[in-house]
Structure 1
């Protein structure tokens, strides 16, 4: 198989196995640059890639500034020295391709076409929205984490498509709804309605618990990225390159899988049912807004999403029936928490809304069982290499391994995607294949 190697400015046929640069398969060259470039490099042996003397420095600098980040901010996220970031933004310097790719990933760019295409398919609207949030509520770490998450989402969907996997047909059945309630029809009722519709579309039982919401998302090909955000931020929904994905904070209350389930369900409301205009390329939710009772939330968009989340996880009729059958309010509340996978505050508010009763029960705190935790965390907690960021574990890593096994991407690319070296990749592959049943089945 003919392999290729690219540097900052050039693409060449790989004649020397020890050549520096990023090793690419023929598929990767064709996918990134097209048939014409592939034919040229095969004919000439080496060709220039840079579209101008300003690239990639101009794209890196402009994108960083559009996000409101300093060179120091980006260096910290990319695990580079600040001077290396400045060198990458200096048009007179030639930089290691790995440094450039790390920066592109942090900035949410398509690292494959950096230098070759000005802008590298960056999302200016998303960057502008993140910058505005940075000036308001988001920390530097959260802006860079969300920007990188947009790369994870886009790359996961691209790898899935390149492996020949089409997206779930179920996703095509969702159409944005602009109904956020009216004076005679509260937003929370529309949230309940949409939750019921969602269960129908996804062919879920009308009253049984969703044992793993993360597994459900992965089964219908929704990218779910877990990463570290500011302690106040619960999650976000991102639209990038015509696709939507969800980002979950692993810090703060989300450390409890029951709270994280509610966060994920809330973001699903935005992903399934909000229009592109409403989403504005990113919707960021904090824990305070997620914990507000739907019926008392003046923000109709968030009230609908909150109601959707709780009704998706615990259908109101089934919740009321189980609670009423319990021997005591304490036993009923505990049962609802453990059966549907809800936190104390979420379960108490929901039971009150479903039954019309005030639930005067002091705080009880049954912790999620090991089964609940394992079902929501398995491919993240038990990942075989700690160097792979949380954001690239789970379904992202599964698609990387599938693409490698199909010889779509090179070992070099797979290692870079997983943030490990090639020797470690070879050692970890058996464990990775064992972690993902769909890869084993291929």
Structure 2
């Protein structure tokens, strides 16, 4: 999946589809300077290679080589996909940024201890049937493998992934109010990573819960661990690629046990919708499922059925870990959770310097980094403790 480019202009235009003025704003480099670099009239400085590498999602060292070669990792694979070009340049930049954050997290975790092999339930054996049947079957299998008992709802998808599938990283990012629901990465430079858009429809905890279950399907069913995984997912639609229909069915069946799905077939539209909503499914998913599986036609809005509002329990149980109350607003969203905690641990134990901790957070070292240690209840480095 590696690609070669003759110069920086080809990287910008062919790989990323960025305008020169957009890169100028994103990097702080003037358009004149960028033009000189793209025409090979000047040599890249180390700092310029760093900032361009962050914006392009490439290793800084590779930008000074000829030809410029991509690594073929998950981010550069995604950059070659049609759906990557269909989102805005700002969203493309945000996707690259979260891919960089996932790499930082992987490096930090390797510093903190021996690398642990990725362990995921084996669901990839071939299934026959339509995509939505495959998704339902695999979700039922996962429930059995993870010993999900009872007929009640999964209390929290956030905790379900964290407790049952610790090899999977969940990050949050600002991918735009009209951007994708989520992105999934997996390669040797990153743990299998699910990125949820913290904007748009995902601000609803039920939609966010469904998006997490949907992306989980991509990690478990669509990644062979030998090749990079790179997928960009939209929100629930009534049509689309087979891989997306399978993931939607997987999410419905994972969140709601089969016996409950079957029990609503003879209910009224109001009662059927109300019952499935109790399992934390978003109304759009309930509407689509009932139409396809039972023939029940629900109105487009739940208001018409008198089904409004979201339970406070769902708001609390699906609240993103590590975002509320984070002490430094300058830290990008994708670096406030697992990245910040791993960086704080590495800094506390002397594995990285204070400057490296700031770099992991994506901010200047002049900021009050120690507030991040306090936030995670992590002790300061020994030299700071001694000085106090």
Tell me the TM-score range normalised by the shorter chain: 0.7 to 0.9
Specify the alignment match of 1:258 in structure 2: 206
SS at match of 2:186: strand
Q: Residues of 1 paired with 2:101 and 2:200: CA distance? A: 22
Specify the alignment match of 1:342 in structure 2: 281
SS at match of 2:57: coil
Structure 2 unmatched ranges of 5 or more: 1-5, 380-388
Q: Residues of 2 paired with 1:114 and 1:403: CA distance? A: 29
Range that drifts further, 113-122 or 422-431: 113-122
Please give the per-residue CA displacement for 1:97-129, whole angstroms capped at 9, x wherever unaligned: 3x6434322222345998799969743784364
Say whether the 8 Å CA contact 1:134–1:143 is kept in structure 2.
no
Q: Residues of 1 paired with 2:348 and 2:50: CA distance? A: 23
Say whether the 8 Å CA contact 1:265–1:308 is kept in structure 2.
yes
Structure 1 unmatched ranges of 5 or more: 1-57, 437-442
Specify the alignment match of 1:39 in structure 2: none
Closer, same or farther: CA 164–427 of 1 in aligned 2, 3 Å: closer
What TM-score does the superposition give when structure 2 sets the normalisation length?
0.77
Specify the alignment match of 2:175 in structure 1: 229
Range that drifts further, 210-219 or 111-120: 111-120
SS at match of 1:380: coil
Please give the per-residue CA displacement for 1:137-172, whole angstroms capped at 9, x wherever unaligned: 22212222222222222222222222116547642x
Specify the alignment match of 2:340 in structure 1: 397
Counterpart pick for 2:296 among 343, 358, 362: 358
Displacement of 1:216 after TM fit? 3.4
Displacement of 1:213 after TM fit? 2.1
Q: Residues of 1 paired with 2:309 and 2:32: CA distance? A: 47
Closer, same or farther: CA 68–163 of 1 in aligned 2, 3 Å: same
Please give the per-residue CA displacement for 1:246-303, whole angstroms capped at 9, x wherever unaligned: 222223211212112212211111111114599974222222xx232xxxx5743222
Give the 5 Å matches for 1:160-175. Answer: 160-164=109-113, 166-167=115-116, 170-171=119-120, 173-175=121-123
Displacement of 1:380 after TM fit? 1.9
Q: Residues of 2 paired with 1:315 and 1:165: CA distance? A: 38
Displacement of 1:411 after TM fit? 1.0
More helix by share: 1
Q: Residues of 1 paired with 2:12 and 2:84: CA distance? A: 15
Q: Residues of 2 paired with 1:148 and 1:262: CA distance? A: 24
Is 1:310 the equivalent of 2:252?
Answer: yes
Closer, same or farther: CA 176–158 of 1 in aligned 2, 3 Å: farther
Specify the alignment match of 1:159 in structure 2: 108
SS at match of 2:367: helix
Counterpart pick for 2:132 among 164, 177, 188: 188
What TM-score does the superposition give when structure 1 sets the normalisation length?
0.69
Please give the per-residue CA displacement for 1:69-90, whole angstroms capped at 9, x wherever unaligned: 2343234344665566567766
Displacement of 1:319 after TM fit? 4.3
Specify the alignment match of 1:141 in structure 2: 90
Give the 5 Å matches for 1:289-304. Answer: 290-292=236-238, 297=239, 299-304=241-246
Please give the per-residue CA displacement for 1:56-79, whole angstroms capped at 9, x wherever unaligned: xx9866643422223432343446
Q: Residues of 2 paired with 1:396 and 1:114: CA distance? A: 26
Closer, same or farther: CA 166–384 of 1 in aligned 2, 3 Å: same
* TM-align CA RMSD: 3.9
Say whether the 8 Å CA contact 1:258–1:342 is kept in structure 2.
yes
Q: Residues of 1 paired with 2:241 and 2:204: CA distance? A: 26
Aligned residues: 364
Is 1:272 the equivalent of 2:212?
Answer: no
Say whether the 8 Å CA contact 2:123–2:142 is kept in structure 1.
no
Specify the alignment match of 1:248 in structure 2: 196
Specify the alignment match of 1:418 in structure 2: 361
Counterpart pick for 2:322 among 379, 382, 386: 379
Say whether the 8 Å CA contact 1:415–1:425 is kept in structure 2.
no
Is 1:74 the equivalent of 2:23?
Answer: yes
